[in-house]
């Protein structure tokens, strides 16, 4: 209906936004150098709440490697999120809303919470208000390390958000070396171990990521260590043993 109403001006693509190749959607003539002003390409979306977080993480990873829609340059995005998610994306250091999303977005982009739209403005009306957030990729990221490494450090730091930061950061290391390696990480990064995760600035995370990268270079097996994965595997093993025990009974 929309394409019939605006022939030649609007092209509607039916597909999954999580898998659609936006980098193929526009002519190459629109491409600009990363250091130039943003290109004449703008992502605007009223995102479904159930895909908004995985989608913005995917696009942030694209920003870090200048792939996807960012092959055209520093493509800007204006997107809607559940109000609480919008507040997390733009939260300042020390605020209650500060989270993994805050750091991941702000180390790569200038992020602004433009406005809040009341739920009653939508049909059907959602149970929550909606925040409109604008992203402009930075010419130079505030942390110059691989996206997956930054994500791992930030994710571990925030997994115990009410505890001191050394608790979550300690999960980056195997149990046998946890105390020693966590102390070394925090000391070399010059980060107070009694800070809460929400009190860590992007500069703090830059130092932590830089030191963790050096530690991974010294120990090639370190980056592959995944506390959550090991915990899940132990749970599955325990479940199998419990099943065998019940069968014997």
Q: Nearest Cα to 154, choosing from 79, 217, 64?
A: 64
How far is residue 176 from each of residues 35, 69, 105, 123, 157, measured CA to CA in Å? 45, 43, 33, 55, 19
Q: How many other C-beta atoms are found inside a 10 Å radius of the C-beta of residue 166?
A: 20
Check if the beta carbon of residue 52 is closer than 8 Å to that of residue 85: yes
Contact criterion met (CB below 8 Å) for 54 and 101: no
The single-letter DSSP state of residue 133 is: E
User: Which residues define the annotated binding site?
Assistant: 1, 16, 46
- Structure token pair of residue 89: 């994306």
Which residues partner with 81 through β-bridges?
A: 131
Element (H, E) at 117: strand 109-117
d(CA 230, CA 220): 18
Q: Which two tokens stand for residue 238?
A: 């325990």
User: How would you classify the pairing of strands 42-46 and 76-82?
Assistant: parallel
CB 223 within 8 Å of CB 156: no
Residues flagged as binding site for S-adenosyl-L-methionine: 1, 16, 46
**Of 104, 186, 111, which is closest to residue 148 (Cα–Cα)?**
104
């Amino acid at each position: 209906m929309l394409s019939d109403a605006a022939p030649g001006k609007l092209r509607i693509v039916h597909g999954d936004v999580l898998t659609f190749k936006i980098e193929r959607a526009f002519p190459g003539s629109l491409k600009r150098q990363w250091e130039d002003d943003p290109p004449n390409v703008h992502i605007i979306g009223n995102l479904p709440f159930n895909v908004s977080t995985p989608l913005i993480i995917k696009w942030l990873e694209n920003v870090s490697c200048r792939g996807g829609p960012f092959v055209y340059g520093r493509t800007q995005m204006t997107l809607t999120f559940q109000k609480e998610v919008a507040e997390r994306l733009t939260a300042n250091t020390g605020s209650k809303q500060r989270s993994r999303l805050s750091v991941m977005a702000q180390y790569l982009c200038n992020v602004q919470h433009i406005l809040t739209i009341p739920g009653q403005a939508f049909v059907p009306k959602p149970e929550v208000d909606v925040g409109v957030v604008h992203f402009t990729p930075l010419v130079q990221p505030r942390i110059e390390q691989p996206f997956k490494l930054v994500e791992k450090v930030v994710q571990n730091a925030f997994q115990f958000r009410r505890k001191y930061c050394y608790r979550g950061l300690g999960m980056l290391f195997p149990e046998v070396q946890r105390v020693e390696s966590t102390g070394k990480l925090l000391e070399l990064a010059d980060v107070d171990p009694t800070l809460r995760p929400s009190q860590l600035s992007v500069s703090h995370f830059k130092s932590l990521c830089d030191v963790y990268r050096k530690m991974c270079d010294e120990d090639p097996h370190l980056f592959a260590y995944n506390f959550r994965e090991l915990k899940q595997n132990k749970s599955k093993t325990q479940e199998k043993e419990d099943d065998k025990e019940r069968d014997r009974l």
